[in-house]
A and B are shown apart, each in its own frame.
Chain A
Amino acid sequence: MSLLEINNLHVKVDDHEILKGIDLRVNPGEVHSIMGPNGSGKSTLAQVLARRESYDVTRGSVLFGGKDLLEMKPEDAACEGIFMAFQYPVEIPGISNAYFLRSALNAIRKYRGEEEVDAMDFLPLLREKAKLLEMDEKLMNRSVNESFSGGEKKRNEILQMAVLEPRLAILDETDSGLDIDALRIVAKGVNAMRSPERAMIVVTHYQRLLNYIVPDFVHVLVGGRIVRSGGPELALELEKQGYAALEVEARKAASLA
């Protein structure tokens, strides 16, 4: 049994079908990359897995750890072990990063019947992870993402991932808006989280991130379908050739269907 099983997933938004039959199997320890041109449905896939409710699943199924993921509310999916690093992390004024993260950790622990962490015990844990992501401790006392630069926001996402220790981490265009240095730090954090018990789905536009976070599998999403799958070399191929050829192929296939 895979950790994540997506079968023939069709997703609609406002009467517009975005995902047209996705099949995917992800096992613990694996890092899968989903690449594709704009509008291909990459973010939609990520959001559906994170259980954003504005998406309409019209067909297909998704099992996470053997359980029906599509039946779960976002918080339940999170407690089951799904984490999404957002492309555009929001700000929550008045709530410190530290308080928020500890609350999230405790919500998950409570769900699992584990003991909660108090503020005193949480601090060293947070400090350790902040160091890994080269984030100033002082940022933890600021409101969530408040006045954070783009790079700080993305690092904060990975910091949260490091604290919450998910079974499946979905990184939604984590590299967008990052300079090389920030990219390096984010990748360091992500790679430090790689483990035989953990799976990752890295959604990205550009091949560059995959130089730092080398995936085990690459899938190319075009027009709502996975048109090609392969190993890390597929990403390099795409970088050379672009998506154009695959887009043409996909359009042909769609018109025949």
Chain B
Amino acid sequence: MSSNTDILRDFAQQEYKWGFVTDVAEERVPKGLNEETIRLISAKKGEPEFMLDWRLRAFRHWESLEKAQAEPKWANIKYGPIDYQNIVYYSAPKRKPELQNLNEVDPEILRTYEKLGIPLDEQKRLAGVAVDAVFDSVSVATTFKDKLAEAGVIFCSFSEAVREHPDLVKKYLGTVVPYTDNFFAALNAAVFSDGSFVYVPRGVRCPMELSTYFRINAAETGQFERTLIVADEGAYVSYLEGCTAPIRDENQLHAAVVELIALDDAQIKYSTVQNWYPGDREGKGGVYNFVTKRGKCLGRNSKISWTQVETGSAITWKYPSCILQGDHSVGEFYSVALTNNRQQADTGTKMIHIGKDTRSTIVSKGISAGFGQNTYRGGVKILKGASGARNYTQCDSLLIGDKCGAHTFPYIEVKNSTARMEHEASTSKIGEDQLFYLRQRGLKGEDAVSMIVNGFCKRVFRELPMEFAVEAQKLLSVSLEGSVG
């Protein structure tokens, strides 16, 4: 409780805590998007032919969509037109080619990470978390590579994977989210900068939790991460994604793609704590988080769990989904999405039941405060051949104040009569009585709101790896500043 209070006091200075810029010499590709840009990006990364080829095909597809004005407009969000030519698609801090250890990393960059509270040092090692730190489109340091290598786990930047493990990349890239999937997936496939690549071999339980931190630094740089995680038969991996970004006036587009593939008896747990700059109180600035995340439970008995805590971004548009192809496969989605001030979110999940005896669980907690507009969009599809399918969905909204909105669009499509579906939904306000009760026991107003909200989110927080759970609670408190009333 006391740490929450400290944070709230800090935050009362009305500043986005992580809103600072690092002065690091950057290498930039000129603004604009055309074939030249793509070739330049691919060349800078030293990519093999197949990769450039894939990018170009994606780009041409995107161009055709753009010409046909096919940018999707159906979501429950409002934003001005994005000028795709007014974005820099590649920016990397100048550094020496391969860094063997942390001493070789640009000290400015390391200091940035310290400020973000993720010191890449011995303490982190002791905590047993491998960090693949992505800094402005290029992975800077990959720690614990050796320890993971012992277990046979490959955890590296996507760029490195393309160079060092092209066969694996070729085999799986685009099999869950092909570049034809949607407008932003096409864009991402063309210009993706970097991200993580994970491969866990047969029967291996990844010895530590994997995590990556992102940061958008340079002005007008969109982040186009591409992440691919493959768990081979009987493998297990838990991956954590947490991101922050500095204050900028121009909106920053973040169109990432994450593909997860779980083979027979494999499990992937993907957790996200998202704290991109949400824009100011009037809704100016802030990150546009348009992400395509999808997991394919390819093998029998495979399992993919998504857990997300989304407190940042001006606009959040994402549906981490599961394709339950393997028999007896399991998909899970646990989410807390917060919209405060002028934030907007249209988020949810898709569970597609294809195999037999598949199961999905959806727990979505939406919190709206200020003038925030929070939309849950869920799709549960039971295909004809998916016998014995089960789904449980719980979707709860909490409204703080009377100027915000919560909207729900559940889609349920069942084509097999043996399916069992459960859907529960609730909408509530933070009660005056509850607040007064907590305050009468000595808790400050903001702490009381925090406590009630944390109670509301508990079911989701329980799914997060411990250290993330703590960060998530802090984030929620900080993001709710000024919403008591």
Binding site for B on A (CB under 8 A): 50-52, 54, 73-75, 77-79, 83-84, 86, 88-90, 92-95, 100-101, 103-108, 110-111, 116, 143, 160, 164
Decide if B456 touches A93 in the complex (CB within 8 Å). yes
Are A94 and B458 within 8 A (Cβ)? yes
Is B474 close to A, CB under 8 A? no
Binding site for A on B (CB under 8 A): 1-2, 5, 431-434, 436-445, 447-448, 451-452, 454-459
Q: Are the CB atoms of A108 and B459 closer together than 8 Å? A: no
In the complex, A75 Cα to B444 Cα: how many Å? 6
Q: Is the pair B452, A104 in contact by a Cβ cutoff of 8 Å?
A: no
Asked if residues A75 and B443 are in contact (CB atoms below 8 Å), the reply is: yes
6 tightest Cβ-Cβ pairs between the two chains A and B: A94-B455, A104-B441, A94-B458, A74-B439, A107-B442, A95-B455
**Which residues on the B side are within 8 Å of A107 (C-beta)?**
1, 441-444, 447
Residues from chain B with Cβ under 8 Å of A104 in the complex: 438, 441-443
Q: Are B452 and A108 interface neighbours, CB within 8 A?
A: no
Give A94 to B444 CA distance when docked, in angstroms. Answer: 19
Q: Are A90 and B431 in contact (CB under 8 A)?
A: yes
For the complex, what is the distance from the CA of A73 to the CA of B434, rounded to whole Å? 15
Question: Given the complex, which residues of B lie within 8 Å of A101, measured CB to CB?
Answer: 441
Question: Across the interface, do B442 and A108 meet the contact criterion of CB distance under 8 Å?
Answer: yes
User: Is there contact, CB below 8 Å, between B437 and A93?
Assistant: no
Report B442 CB to chain A, min CB distance, Å.
Answer: 4
Chain B residue nearest to A160 in the complex (CB)? B441
Residue among B434, B441, B442, B445 with the most chain A CB within 10 A? B442
Q: How far is the CA of A95 from the CA of B2 in the complex (A)?
A: 16
For A111, the chain B residues whose CB sits under 8 A away are 442
| Contact (Cβ within 8 A) A93 B455 | yes
Bound complex: CA of A108 vs CA of B5, how far in Å? 13
Which B residues are in CB contact (< 8 Å) with A160? 441
B456 touches A86 (CB 8 A): no
Which chain A positions have C-beta within 8 A of B447? 103, 107
A74–B440 CA distance with the chains assembled, in angstroms = 5
Give Cα A101 to B438, complex, Å.
Answer: 10
In the bound complex, do residue B458 and residue A90 qualify as a contact, i.e. CB atoms below 8 Å apart?
no
A56 to B380, CA, bound (A): 51
* 10 A/B residue pairs, CB under 8 Å, sorted by A: A52-B436, A75-B442, A86-B437, A92-B437, A92-B455, A94-B455, A95-B455, A107-B441, A160-B441, A164-B441
Q: Cβ of B456: which chain A residues have Cβ within 8 Å of it?
A: 93-94
Q: Give the residue name and chain of the B residue nearest to A106 (CB).
A: B1
Q: A73-B445, A90-B433 are in contact. Are A50 and B454 (CB under 8 A)?
A: no
Interface majority SS on B: helix, strand, loop or mixed? helix
In the docked arrangement, what's the CA distance between A214 and B433, Å? 30
B459 CB contact (under 8 Å) in A52, A89, A94: A94
A residues less than 8 Å from B436 (CB atoms)? 52, 74
| Partner of B440 from A50, A105, A110 at Cβ < 8 Å | A50
Question: With the chains together, A108 CA to B2 CA distance in Å?
Answer: 11
Taken together as a complex, chains A and B put the C-alpha atoms of A93 and B447 apart, in Å, by: 16
Nearest CB of chain A from residue B338's CB, rounded to whole Å: 16
Tell me which residues across on chain B come within 8 A of A95, comparing CB atoms: 451-452, 454-455, 458
Q: Closest Cβ of chain A: how far from B124's Cβ, in Å? A: 25
* Chain A residues closer than 8 Å to B441, beta-carbon distance: 78, 83, 100-101, 104, 107, 160, 164
Residues of B within 8 A of A54 (CB): 432
**Cβ-closest chain B residue relative to A170:** B440
Q: Is the CB of B2 within 8 A of A106?
A: yes
Tell me the complex Cα distance, A246–B13, Å: 56
Residues of B within 8 A of A110 (CB): 2, 5
Please measure, in the bound complex, the distance between the C-alpha atom of A106 and the C-alpha atom of B441, giving whole angstroms: 10
Report whether A79 and B442 are in contact in the complex, using a CB–CB cutoff of 8 Å: yes
CA distance A106 to B2 in the complex (A): 8
Give chain B residues whose Cβ lies under 8 Å from the Cβ of A164. 441-442
Contact assessment for B451 and A100 in the assembled complex, using a CB-CB cutoff below 8 Å:
yes
Whether A90 and B442, one on each chain, are in contact in the complex, defined by CB atoms closer than 8 angstroms, is no
Contact A90–B1 (Cβ < 8 Å): no
How many Å lie between the Cα of A83 and that of B436 in the bound state?
12
Give Cα distance in the complex from A106 to B5, angstroms. 12
Q: Are A103 and B451 in contact (CB under 8 A)?
A: yes
List residues of chain A with CB within 8 A of the CB of B442: 75, 78-79, 104-105, 107-108, 111, 164
How near does chain A come to B3, taking the closest CB pair, in angstroms?
11
Give chain B residues whose Cβ lies under 8 Å from the Cβ of A89.
437
A123 to chain B, nearest CB (A): 16
**Bound Cα distance A131, B57 (Å):** 72
Contacts of A92 on B, CB cut-off 8 Å? Answer: 434, 437-438, 451-452, 455
Question: Shortest beta-carbon distance, B363 to chain A, in Å?
Answer: 13
A173 to chain B, nearest CB (A): 16
A74–B448 Cα distance when bound, in Å, is 12
In the complex, which residues of chain A have a beta carbon less than 8 angstroms from the beta carbon of B439?
Answer: 73-75, 78
Q: Are B455 and A143 in contact (CB under 8 A)?
A: yes
A88 and B455 CA atoms in complex are apart in Å by 20
Residues of A within 8 A of B459 (CB): 94
A31, chain B: closest CB distance, angstroms: 20
A95 CA / B447 CA spacing, docked (Å)? 13
Q: Given the complex of chains A and B, what is the CA–CA distance between A90 and B22 in angstroms?
A: 48
A residues within 8 A CB of B434?
A: 90, 92
Among B441, B445, B451, B459, residue most surrounded by chain A Cβ atoms (within 10 Å): B441
Q: How far is the CA of A86 from the CA of B457 in the complex (A)?
A: 26
Task: State the CA gap A93–B438 with chains docked (Å).
Answer: 13
Q: Which B residues lie within 8 Å of A52 (CB)?
A: 436
B residues near A103, Cβ cutoff 8 Å: 1, 443, 447, 451
Q: Which residues of B contact A73 (CB under 8 A)?
A: 439, 445
Task: List the B residue with the shortest CB-CB distance to A107.
Answer: B442
CB-CB < 8 A to B2: which residues of A?
Answer: 106, 110, 116
CA distance A164 to B437 in the complex (A): 14
Contacts of B445 in A (CB 8 A): 73, 75
Which residues of chain A come closer than 8 Å to B437, judged between CB atoms?
A: 86, 89-90, 92
Q: Within 8 Å CB of B432, what residues of A?
A: 54
Residues of A within 8 A of B5 (CB): 110
**CB nearest to A74 among chain B residues:** B439
Minimal beta-carbon separation of B131 from chain A (angstroms): 30
Q: How long is the Cα–Cα vector from A93 to B443 in the complex, in angstroms? A: 17
Known: A92-B438, A100-B438, A107-B442. 5 other contacts (CB 8 A): A75-B440, A75-B444, A78-B441, A94-B456, A107-B443
